Structure 1
Amino acid sequence: MAANLKLAALCLLLLVVSSLPLIVHAECECEQAGEEEHDKAGALKLKIIAIFCILVASAAGCGIPSLGRKFPALSPDTDLFFAVKAFAAGVILATSFVHILPEAFERLGSPCLVDGPWQKFPFAGFVAMLAAIATLVVDTIATGYFQRAHAKKVSAAAGYLEASGADHTQGGHFHGVSAAIASSSFAGESDDGEQLIRHRVISQVLELGIVVHSVIIGMSLGASEDATTIKPLVAALTFHQFFEGIGLGGCIVQAQFRLKSVLMMAFFFSLTMPLGIVIGIVISSTYDENSPSALIVEGLLTAAAAGILNYMALVDLLAEDFMNPRVQNNGRLQVIINISLLAGTALMSMLAVWA
């Protein structure tokens, strides 16, 4: 299922992105007065640096949680794991609220959009809300479907065991006791299986949400010809992708995927923003970010990405961990992860000053 979901999402994103140049081509009707002459060679050099920096940071961030197998301090059962994951969730939350959502409001509220309803209704907030609701629907439907399937398997296995124990009742009291113990163990396995399913759904939905905004941001960076704008973005996006990768990697570790699936998800995450940058470089000659069509498409997609990340950060990352019995029963750990969360949001928010 994970492979099919990712392939479908990638195809959809590539379709949208590949059609963007056709949408915005030859529609440069709202340009800023006194447009500066950009250093295209310098900008291209910075874009190439950005591709490699972001690729390495993404792979490293996503891979760090997997080191818990070799370094016990990084395993999912430690306080450090909860603290790092809370920091990463704070980075994702600040990315959504401070970086992406304001950009969506700016795009859809641009004075270039003189026709249509764009100046009469806050579409950015509306689309972000709908995207968060859509993510909730996907999240709950997927979790419910797989948990019901798992419950049926456990119930069938437990029923078979009880029937087997009943057949051997005449053979002694031992079989009845062993059947009861086994049934109890099946109940425990059912709870563990449902929790595992929840972690797997969270990791897959989170990655799909990250893919949406990573491609959009990467494309915007690749299409830009202003070196002074690109330079701070390289540092900001590298920082962002590293800790976003840690958040995703933590979810992947908790989901206990097979090695092949882990590598595929990490590879997919690491390539999305560099791929967006490459696409942006390719379409930079025909792309005008101030054309009405570009403003509408980017604004709607950015708003949707903000809504998805808001939901994932608050519900599937923070609420999931903050309501964990291990955290609830440990006052010291509660203080640590709250400080870690605030640190993540603060640092990512500060980057908005430069990028």
Structure 2
Amino acid sequence: MLAAVATLQIDMFATFYFTRRLSSKGATNRSEAADENGDKEAGSIDHAEHTNHGHSHLAEASCSSSDLLRHRVISQVLELGIIAHSVIIGISLGASKDPKTIRPLLGALSFHQFFEGMGLGGSIAQASFKSKSVAVMALFFSLTTPVGIAVGIGISNVYNENSPTALIVEGILNAASAGVLIYMALVDLCVADFMSPKMKKSRRLQLWSNVALLLGMGFMSLLAKWA
């Protein structure tokens, strides 16, 4: 719960910060556009119409930029939560010594990471990052679990997964990751899809979307038996 609230605060402040920056840039652009239009259209009857037309384009661009900004904040916060979670499960896998534990855990984590990657990839695609940023985010997602596994292997000789300290630390980190991911899934991802105009117009789409959501939750919960 604390992690979810902390994610809310980070999400809120990041959105406010970048929105203020966007508004400041938008005000500057509108001022420059108005000055330019005034110079070009001075003395013309069409000056007001031309200026209003320019302002409408700027308003549309500002709205589009605001949506894009929101998608970027969502994708970045989501990646932070996934990275933290991936490192934790990687350490757990690397520190495991029993093959009977490792095999089902590896299979479960493969499915788990696959669906997390799909969700993150869709979020990054909506954010329309530059190619370099997309590559960096994909690289971080791809490397965090292997890095966690390497760390787990490195500490396996001194790491006792049943010790009170290890259980407390792992529990806190897992709870924090769960809070971040639950918040992002419900507030930033599901709400955007389930409250979309397309969803509101189709009862059939609403039904199957909810069925798919419940099935996905069930399958991911089933994976917890091994992971």
Instruction: State TM-score, norm by structure 2.
Output: 0.94
**Structure 2: unaligned runs, 5 residues or longer:** none
Label 1:294 to 1:132 Cα distance change in 2 as closer, same or farther (>3 A).
same
**What's 1:136 paired with?**
8
| Matched-pair contact (CA < 8 Å) for 1:203–1:248 | yes
**Structure 1: unaligned runs, 5 residues or longer:** 1-128
Label 1:330 to 1:152 Cα distance change in 2 as closer, same or farther (>3 A).
farther
Using the TM superposition, name which of 251-260 and 330-339 deviates more.
Answer: 330-339
How do 1:29-108 and structure 2 match up within 5 A? none
**What's 1:258 paired with?**
130
**What's 1:182 paired with?**
54
| Matched-pair contact (CA < 8 Å) for 1:147–1:197 | yes
Q: Does 1:205 align with 2:80?
A: no
Aligned-pair Cα RMSD in Å: 1.6
* Displacement after TM superposition at 1:331 (Å): 3.2
* Displacement after TM superposition at 1:161 (Å): 2.2
**What's 2:217 paired with?**
345
**What's 2:24 paired with?**
152
1:217 to 74, 84, 89: 89
**What's 1:104 paired with?**
none
Instruction: State TM-score, norm by structure 1.
Output: 0.61
Label 1:183 to 1:291 Cα distance change in 2 as closer, same or farther (>3 A).
same
**What's 1:233 paired with?**
105
Q: Cα deviations across residues 65-116 of structure 1 (Å, max 9, x unaligned)?
A: xxxxxxxxxxxxxxxxxxxxxxxxxxxxxxxxxxxxxxxxxxxxxxxxxxxx
1-structure distance, mates of 2:220, 2:175: 19
2-structure distance, mates of 1:245, 1:170: 55
Q: 3-state SS of the aligned residue for 2:224?
A: helix
1-structure distance, mates of 2:103, 2:42: 79
* Displacement after TM superposition at 1:156 (Å): 1.9
**What's 1:66 paired with?**
none
Label 1:154 to 1:296 Cα distance change in 2 as closer, same or farther (>3 A).
same
Q: Quick one: which amino acid aligns to residue 20 of structure 2?
A: R
Query: How many correspondences in the alignment?
Result: 227
Instruction: Choose between structure 1 and 2 for higher RCO, CA contacts under 8 A separated by at least 6 residues.
Output: 1
**What's 1:48 paired with?**
none
* Displacement after TM superposition at 1:299 (Å): 1.5
2-structure distance, mates of 1:318, 1:140: 18
* Displacement after TM superposition at 1:237 (Å): 0.5
* Displacement after TM superposition at 1:290 (Å): 1.7
**What's 1:273 paired with?**
145
Q: Quick one: which amino acid aligns to residue 138 of structure 2?
A: A
